Amino acid sequence: MFSVALAASRAGGRTLARVVNGWDSHWYLNIAQQGYVNHLPHGVGDDSQANLGFFPFTAIADHIAHAVTGLGYVMAGSLTVNVVGLFGAIAFWWLLRSQFDSAGADRGTALMVFSPAAFVFSYVYSEAFVVLFTSCVLLALAHRRWILAGIAAGLCSACDPVAAAIVIPCVIAAYGAIKRDRDWKALFAPLLAPAGIAAFFIYLWVHVGTPFAWFKYQRAGWQRGYYGTGIPKALWSFFAHGFQNLNPPVKSLTVVVAVILVVIFVRAKPPMTWRGYVFGVLAMGAISPTIGMTPRLLLRDAPILGVAGARLSQRSYPYVLSFSVAGLCLLTVLAATPRWTP
């Protein structure tokens, strides 16, 4: 991924550090270096954007990596994400192996690692952490390791707002364990799962006087518009304006891909915990006024990619993987230009 990012930076006429420090990476790196701001900007739009609109775990990990390695924040953060991405892929393989044979786990993991949005595994983004923690949670739930599942879910919920969907499989697993076996220890998982997001909101309450600061600055700076309009807006903009702006075409194609993936996923009949997480993430994307369906959303919804890859036949798999790799290369180059926002 790092070499692809390097090639993309050359193609876009920008330095690698500038590419890796782009878009959301800028906010995570800003938090890692300076902490959250305590002044509250007003209004809406770009002028109201503040780092209060981003979850803390990625920035905390970058700050620790910088302190331990002595590297600059950009390189320390990128190195951390690459390493976490590697461990995430290993954990994801074991998750798939719990439901499929080794060949299926290989295919599913490759489809996730080479999915179009996987270029962010070289950026200071949260996806690598989400894939790692989600895989650990679903594995721990399957083995009834309730406290471990709850801790991993708590860390996951501190990574990204979409990752808060990890609470759903914890609730599903606990309900099943209590109903079947009266295993009340299962409650540890859903009780610990929201710890990360709860701690973040409590911190915001103390730091700036309101636990709803994240909602306020996401709405003011990024998530403007009516809830549930993200997908319709992307489709309408694409059909009305074509490729003048690259975001609507990418999101519109992702909607089609997501529908295909859902059909494959449902037919595979994965565990209820997997279904709870997958559809929870998709619902959050659909509710958002701006996100809709994006390649990054599907990457954070990794089980849907893994199941699709595992279910593909040996004959069709090379074609699907080639299409995915082509999308990865294209989006990596686009991310190094100002025409598309990853």
Q: 221-225, 239-243, 254-258: which has the highest mean pLDDT?
A: 254-258
Rounded to whole angstroms, the Cα distance separating 202 from 180 reads 35
- What digits encode the pLDDT tens for the residues 41-62? 676 655 667 888 899 999 999 9
Contacts of 2 (CB under 8 A, 6+ apart): 78, 82, 122
Q: Is the pLDDT of residue 144 over 70?
A: yes
Residue 225 DSSP code = S
Pick 101 or 292 by higher pLDDT. Answer: 101
Q: What are phi and psi of 129, to 5 degrees?
A: -65, -40
Confidence of residue 117 (pLDDT cuts 50, 70, 90): very high
DSSP code at position 246: S
pLDDT of 291 reads: 81
| DSSP string for residues in 271-302 | -HHHHHHHHHHHHHHHH-SS-SS-HHHHHHTH
Higher-pLDDT residue of 305, 330:
305
Q: What are phi and psi of 150, to 5 degrees?
A: -65, -40
Mean pLDDT value across the chain: 89
Of 322, 321, 278, the closest CA to residue 300 belongs to 278
State the DSSP code for 7. Answer: H
**Is residue 169 helix, strand or coil?**
helix
Q: Which whole number is the average pLDDT over 97-107? A: 96
94: tokens are 């074991």
Q: Which residue has the higher pLDDT, 130 or 16?
A: 130
CB of 81 closer than 8 Å to CB of 122: yes
41-47: long-range contacts (C-beta < 8 A, 24 or more apart)? 41/217, 41/220, 43/220, 44/220, 44/221, 44/224, 45/220, 45/221, 45/224, 46/221
